[in-house]
Amino acid sequence: MTNLMIQIQSLGAPMSTSSERYLLIYMIGILLVVCTLIILFFMVFQKRKNLLILDKIRQQKAFEAELTNAQIEIQEQTLKNIGQELHDNVGQILSVANMNMSVLNTKVPDDIKESFTETKNAVKQGLTELRLLSKTLNSDVILNRGFVQSVNSEVERLNKLKLLNASFCTTGFSDQFNQPKDGILLFRIVQEFISNTVKYGKASNLSITADFSESTLQLVLQDDGIGFDHKTIEQGSGLINIKSRSELIQAELNYSSKIGEGVLLSLTYPYRT
């Protein structure tokens, strides 16, 4: 009887071990399925999260671009109003003063006639400069004259005023831009660079080159002034204005400078078909 029980127990032992093995495999399978579902859920969740983040970034960039565009449009309108005011009102006053001085020129005593003539010429020269300046402020005039002619006029004005020795060279001339306002924004970038050079650069020479190829406009501006410190200049409104305008026209902007070695700015404007 005892031997029979031992035999039954010995036969039952393998069956219990096999059941435990199957149960273990079953549990592992369930665990793998659960882990797979968790991983899939996490991947889907992460993907949706990334899409939401990217969408938020796109919306933020679109908002910033729209805000920058609005600010620049306000600036352009302000410059346009100032230009018209200078041309119509101040210019008119100087024109009347110049005509009156021409009339009085014959009645001026000989002892002060030379000084009077110099004053009259100064008023006439001021009127000419005022009219030139008003044209560079008016975006409609810039649009009608085109980018190249507008830069030419700005360089001529600098040389005439003897603020510095400026030059402008173009190759492969083309004044066709993706949008009409792009030419205006490019001209404003040139103006901003010139303004910084005159105000802070203490430069003697300024060169501007514009290389028009089939796919891009390569614009390079360089002066021989005192240069700047990158940490300081990056906080200045001049560079911020240049950067914001470059981003609006999707142009690649690079600049470099060392103290005492002037400033070099290059901009690549892509034509889009």
- pLDDT, one tens digit per residue, over 41-59 is 888 888 888 887 877 777 7
Compute the distance between CA of residue 73 and CA of residue 79 in angstroms, rounded to an integer: 10
pLDDT of residue 4: 43
pLDDT of residue 209: 95
pLDDT of residue 8: 43
pLDDT of residue 111: 77
Of all helices (H) and strands (E), which one includes residue 23?
helix 2-85
In this structure, what is the dihedral angle of CA atoms 126, 128, 129, 132, given to the nearest 10 degrees?
160
Per-residue pLDDT for 225 more than 50?
yes
Give the residue-averaged pLDDT of 196-205.
Answer: 87
> pLDDT band for position 63 (50/70/90)?
low
Other CB atoms within 10 A of residue 256 CB: 13
> pLDDT band for position 64 (50/70/90)?
low
> pLDDT band for position 259 (50/70/90)?
confident
- pLDDT, one tens digit per residue, over 23-34 is 788 888 888 888
Burial group, residue 130, by CB count within 10 angstroms (0-12, 13-18, 19+)? middle
- Give yes or no for a contact between 219 and 183, defined as CB atoms under 8 angstroms apart: no
- Residue that wins the pLDDT comparison between 156 and 120: 156
- pLDDT, one tens digit per residue, over 105-128 is 777 787 787 787 888 888 887 877
Compute the distance between CA of residue 187 and CA of residue 245 in angstroms, rounded to an integer: 10
- Which domains does the chain show, CATH number per domain? 160-273 (3.30.565.10)
pTM above 0.75, yes or no: no
Per-residue pLDDT for 6 more than 60?
no
Question: What tokens appear for 168 in the block?
Answer: 């402008």
- pLDDT, one tens digit per residue, over 65-96 is 655 665 566 666 667 667 667 766 777 777 77
- Residue that wins the pLDDT comparison between 209 and 236: 209
pLDDT of residue 78: 67
Compute the distance between CA of residue 195 and CA of residue 92 in angstroms, rounded to an integer: 27
Compute the distance between CA of residue 46 and CA of residue 52 in angstroms, rounded to an integer: 10
> pLDDT band for position 140 (50/70/90)?
confident
Mean predicted lDDT score pLDDT of the chain: 79
Q: What percent of the chain has pLDDT over 90?
A: 16
Of all helices (H) and strands (E), which one includes residue 231?
helix 230-233
pLDDT of residue 190: 93
pLDDT of residue 235: 58
